[in-house]
Amino acid sequence: MNPEVAIDIFKTTVVFALSVTAPFLIAMLLVGLMTSLFQSVTSLQEPTLTFAPKLITFALLGIVLGPWLLRMLGEFTVGVIGRMATLAH
């Protein structure tokens, strides 16, 4: 295996990981900002107020994006395994 192929596989893996986690990270960021704004306005400092909405949002996103995530993971796995066969030469 030459270094260019290893770097390309690493780059592809990092970009794939970012694209799969981006919807969750963006949603958690938005929910966190909204709950922080709500806590600032109402002066409520309840710890579960920040945890519960994020947990619910994560669960709903997991249900909604589940088929897309499974398809993306399957395509990525097939692609990487397919590239492994060409690396042996």
The pTM is what? 0.79
Alpha helices in 1-89 (DSSP H): 3-42, 47-87
Whether the predicted pLDDT of 27 surpasses 90: yes
51 token code pair: 């945890």
Number of domains in the chain: 1
Q: Residue 1's pLDDT is what?
A: 63
d(CA 21, CA 69): 10
The answer for 44, left when phi > 0, alpha when psi is -120 to 50, beta otherwise, is beta
Residue 46, helix vs strand vs coil: coil
For residue range 40-78, list pLDDT tens digits in order.
898 888 878 888 999 999 999 999 999 999 999 999 999
Domain that holds residue 66: 3-87
